[in-house]
A and B are shown apart, each in its own frame.
Chain A
């Protein structure tokens, strides 16, 4: 920023800051709002998609598991319905049935047994030695006595291995008896353990007490599950899939989808870490934030850059305005001084006229007889002539001053360039004398008149003369003015042998506000105004100079009208 700015640097700094802030706010606010809105919409739709996927998965596997259980239950039911208590109580017969089932179901059934009303296993087919085992205290047996069938929770039982029981109650005469089958835990467990959601999600089954019915994934410890409230709140007949989020024991957030199995006794749960389920959204979020930061950075940089440039221009314009204002004041002062000078010049004419007339009268009297023989007659005459001569000189000076002061108009008229130069040389003679400058003129004879504004031509040439005198003010020198014809142009040259203009400055001397004079001495407008005037006349103005050898300004004015 320009140090000489009229309003001070603090003003322009605050202006630049305000412009930057406004640009940044106006640009960033809509960008952030739109990004946030799009992200929000994307997040909602992505969540819905993930949830829908989980719900679908849970529903499918619930159907599969329920179908598995119902199938096995159906088989046992058929066995109980189609054979009598006596037939099934025959261990060999029961062994045959077990083999048939195992063959069909690829070993899903581990064993078969027939239990009487007192809980005593009257017949047993299977790998364990469980003949005559007493189940009267078993929970499944208690349940089987009151219900047509029972599918138990997974338990260790007498054999010490995880398994569960399918038991079907039958009536024979007035007593009840029960056909019991053990389902291979591995076969059942595989149904659930093979469920994979993404790369780290998995599934498991809980009973109503929150105990695992399948082998849980390593991340989960039995009894530390985060959803007992849900189990308590859920009704056994509820068909809906419940989706919710919660923290696990390792403090990472998971999304859960859960649905009831086995007539509301078991709960199938699918679990996936939120970081994985919403990884696409998180990626989009990261990308958006990155783009926002980059875009924001660009906007802020541009805003600062642009506002600085704008403020620099404003400061420059303010400076130019200030110089123009000074120039207007100066011009006004000059005009007043000009008017004053014109008034004085006019008033001087009267006393000078009187002096000249009185001297003339004295001359007349000297002609009379009695004074003719005075010894000093010749001296008197010489003195009177001198008064007349100096009176004429006064007249010439005041007339030139008056004509210069009066002709500030731009009326186009026939102008003799040579006369204008001579007139200006007379006006500048006194100043040149004090600066020890000799003025030479070389006006070609028979120059044609040109059709321009006389006062403007005067202004241009006087400006060049004054510049030359300024340049030679210290050490004096020679000023040469010439006018000649070159083809269709009148060429006027103003040459001095002052210090000259450095090559670097030469290209800029006709620019407005360019000055090499000390502060307060020049406005930097003189030559630019000259340039404008000469161009308006249809001519041209050029300068050539070398340091130490003076400068020459050349004006060409077309005369062909």
Chain B
């Protein structure tokens, strides 16, 4: 079983490909997307994706817009922003809109993996809480 189910979103094809290969080698289940709209499409089709690694600077639909849309459609999916230095402000803006964390390019692979693990753990914790709450709700009604 993989450590986490990841969607990697960046318009730099070479980067996505290299990263995908390396992450797969480390037992991560990874899907690639090369833009915001494509990422949303993948997420809609594949609800098992737990963590999205999202580049901030992309054409057509930038990382912040994509993040807002993801959070609207899939509130429990965790997002890690990936950014060059000049867009740190927008990464912080992303944090305010619900991103889990941000990393600066080029980033250490180990650092990325540990962030992904933390994000996945938080997602699971959220889901657990929701299930507990629902169970409580259901049992509460019965008694």
Contacts and interface: CB of A to CB of B under 8 A. Distances in A.
A357 B86 contact: no
From DSSP, what is the main secondary structure of chain B's interface residues?
A: helix
A93 B109 CA distance: 173
A398 interface: yes
A47 interface: no
A399 B105 contact: no
Contacts of A391: 106
Interface stretch (B15-23, B65-73, B92-100, B129-137): B15-23
A363 B139 CA distance: 54
Interface in A444-473: none
A403 B87 CA distance: 11
B85 interface: yes
A399 B106 CA distance: 11
Contacts of A353: 12, 15, 105-107
A219 interface: no
A236 interface: no
B18 A361 contact: yes
Question: Which of A353, A358, A399 has most chain B Cβ within 10 Å?
Answer: A353
A56 B94 CA distance: 116
A358 B106 CA distance: 12
B14 interface: yes
A408 to B, nearest CB: 13
Interface in A332-375: 342, 345-346, 349-350, 352-354, 356-358, 360-361, 364
Interface in B57-106: 57, 84-87, 104-106
B123 to A, nearest CB: 25
B85 A357 contact: no
Contact of A360 (B14, B22, B104): B22
Name the interface size band of chain A.
20 to 34
B86 A346 contact: yes
A402 interface: yes
A342 B86 contact: yes
A354 B11 CA distance: 12
A103 interface: no
B141 interface: no
A406 interface: yes
A402 B12 CA distance: 21
Interface in B1-38: 12, 14-15, 18-19, 21-22, 25
Contacts of B85: 345-346, 349, 398-399, 402-403, 406
Interface string B39-55: 00000000000000000
Nearest to B86: A346
Nearest to B89: A406
Contacts of A358: 14, 18
A361 B105 contact: no
Name the interface size band of chain B.
10 to 19
Contacts of B21: 361, 364
A364 B87 CA distance: 30
A361 B109 CA distance: 10
A397 to B, nearest CB: 11
A17 interface: no
Contacts of A345: 85-86
A208 interface: no
A357 B84 contact: no
A242 interface: no
B20 to A, nearest CB: 10
Contacts of A43: none
B15 A357 contact: yes
Contacts of A554: none
B18 A354 contact: yes
A356 B104 CA distance: 13
Contacts of B109: 357, 360
B106 A356 contact: yes
Contact of B25 (A342, A356, A364): A364
A194 to B, nearest CB: 118
Contacts of B57: 346
B12 A354 contact: yes
A559 interface: no
A395 interface: yes
Contacts of B15: 350, 353-354, 357
24 contacts: A342-B86, A345-B85, A345-B86, A346-B86, A346-B87, A349-B84, A349-B85, A349-B105, A349-B106, A350-B84, A352-B106, A353-B15, A353-B107, A354-B15, A354-B18, A356-B106, A357-B19, A357-B22, A357-B106, A361-B18, A364-B21, A391-B106, A398-B85, A402-B86
Given A345-B86, A352-B105, A364-B21, 10 more contacts: A346-B57, A349-B84, A349-B85, A349-B106, A353-B105, A354-B12, A354-B15, A358-B14, A364-B22, A402-B86
